[in-house]
Every structure is written in structure tokens, then in C-alpha cells.
Amino acid sequence: MKTSLDCMSIHDNGIKCATFGASSLEDRNLAFGDYNGGLCIWDIERCASSSDGKGKCTLSGKSMEIFSVEAHNGIINAIDGVGGIDHEHGAPEIVTGGRDGCVKVWDPRVNNPVICLEPENRTSRDCWTVAFGDSYNNEDRCVCAGFDNGDVKLFDLRTSSLRWESNCNNGVTSLEFDRKDIEMNKLVVTTLESKFRCYDMRTQHPSNGFTHLDESAHRSTIWLARHLPQNRDIFMTCGGNGGLNIYAYHYPKKRVEKHINDKKSIGVVGNVELLNSRVIATQPIVCFDWNPNRAGLCCMGCLDQSLRVYIVTKLDKY
């Protein structure tokens, strides 16, 4: 498919976030949230390059929009999808987080949210990031959301309840499970003020929750973390200083022990090893993705209006 898209020529509002996560490899439907709170899904196979040579997008006989709804009151800050590529469990779903503080789960087959998680009061905090996880069978699935005041909340979609919450002391810029389609294992949360946390998500203590480690990096905001698809124990962090840090997570000898007071099971967190670090830009790196087929191939976007492609080598030794 050879396609040139000028999104603003066919969509009235700026696009804030997008994902292919809920789409199959054959369909390749793009779900995105815009600055006016709209959630849309496009079938990009229906878009063809125009013949005027100016890069404008024209429609090849059919409407490219296959789903559209007013999802939030204000900007949709974050979006994630599950049930698409190489994923066999559960229905395809999309989760969105907005400036209105709401987290909503959508099934593209219906126009109303499957689940709507709203703040209790009007002084809601911005939801900056969302992620699916724990989708290892047809019943279980969870959503994790991060907020501008440092809150991290884990919602169990099977029971429609808040399973766990914590606070990272700084605004949460991104969070990601090491894999969506396995039982919860690890969660990396990045924040303002050059901090990130790595949680062990296998064992939840009734009062202490999930154990974690804190790490400093980049000497600036850490915009996001992304796990290597071929090895979930390796992840990259992207900093506001234009730098990339790549880490390897090392598990402890025992992942579970008894709490010293109540003797109930509590998780034991491992440690992270900085494998390499490099500053490649003068502006923050705000988006990053690994290639799922070739280990080490990655691309990223920076606020200096550049798109960079790199190959990280020697990953097979870790």
C-alpha cells in the first residue's frame, strides 16, 4: 500500500494520540483521539494518494471513517488497544484517558463505552497515560492509568473494580506492562523529575500492594519507556534531554517472601542494569517504538521535528 496522508484535510481537529493495538494485522485500522475529545477509527486501506502531487488525502470510493464518537470532554491525552496483532484472548478493545480525568474502555462494535471510570469530584486530575495488561485468557483484563498528580490506578475489567492504587510523587508521563497478553509480570512507570519505577506485578500484598524500585535517569523528565518485544526484560527510556537509556531487569533469587508483620505473601523486586546511554537530540524524545520482527530496530520522534531510526545491537547477550 502506498499512501500519503494529510490528516487535517479530512479531520477537523488535531490528533493527539493513536494506536493500531486493537486492529488485526490484516485490517490495520488506526484508532486515534483528538484535541476536541473525539475518538475515531480509520480504515487506512481506503485512503489513496491524490493525483495533484500536493500530498492531500483523497478517498477511494468509500468513507475512511468506520467508527466515531465524542469520547471525552476535552483533549484525549492517551490511547491504547488490545486484541489485535498476535493476540487471541478477549474482544478487541480501546482505552482512552482524557483531560477530564476519565478513563473509558471502548468496544468498536458499540457506540457507548463498555466501562467509564470517572473521578468522584469536579477537581479531577488529568489522565496522562493508559495501558492494557493481564489479558492472558478470555476473562481477565486490566487497565492501568497514570495521572498528573502522580497517581497510578489499576482497574480490573473482569470485576469492574479498582484493584490497586499508588502515588509516584511526580506526574506520570507513561506506563507500560512488559507484555499485555500474559499474566501481569512487570510494570514500568515514568514520571517528571527524572524518575521511573519498576513494579513487580505478580504478588499483591493486601496493604503494601506491589513492590517496586525507584531509579533516576536523564536528569530531566522521562517521557516514556518501551519494552523490547523479543525480550520483555529489556526496556528503553526516553528523556527530556534528548537521550536514550537502555536497561536490563534482573529478577531476584526469590520473587515472593512472607511479610515480617502479618506473614502474608509479598513480592520481592529485582534490580535494573543500565546497558547503554546516549544523547542523540537537543530536544525531548516524546515517542518511540520497537520493530516486532527485527530485534533492535527502533524509531523515535523528537520535538526538534525529526524522526530517527536506529538499530541497537548485541541485545541477544542479555
The Cα–Cα gap between 140 and 159 comes to 9
CB contact at 8 A, 152 and 186: no
Integer CA distances (angstroms), 54 to 43, 47, 51, 131, 182, in order: 22, 15, 8, 37, 45
The pLDDT value given to residue 49: 42
The pLDDT value given to residue 62: 55
The pLDDT value given to residue 176: 97
Cβ contacts of residue 92 below 8 Å, gap of 6+? 22, 23, 24, 81, 82, 83, 84, 107, 108
Domain range list for the chain: 1-167
The pLDDT value given to residue 115: 92
Rg (CA), the chain: 20
Query: Which residue ranges of the chain lie beneath pLDDT 70?
Result: 1-10, 47-63, 84-88, 122, 318
Q: Name beta bridge partners: 7.
A: none
* Torsion sign, CA atoms 106, 107, 112, 117: negative
The Cα–Cα gap between 136 and 115 comes to 20
CB contact at 8 A, 211 and 268: yes
Average pLDDT, the chain: 88
User: What is the DSSP code (8-state) at residue 182?
Assistant: S
**pTM for the full model?**
0.89
Q: Name beta bridge partners: 265.
A: 258
Cβ contacts of residue 219 below 8 Å, gap of 6+? 194, 239, 241
The pLDDT value given to residue 52: 44
The pLDDT value given to residue 51: 38
User: Of 33, 69, 80, nearest to 180 (Cα)?
Assistant: 80
The pLDDT value given to residue 25: 75
The Cα–Cα gap between 251 and 44 comes to 42
The pLDDT value given to residue 124: 75
Cβ contacts of residue 54 below 8 Å, gap of 6+? none
Say which CATH architecture domain 1-167 belongs to: 7 Propeller (2.130)
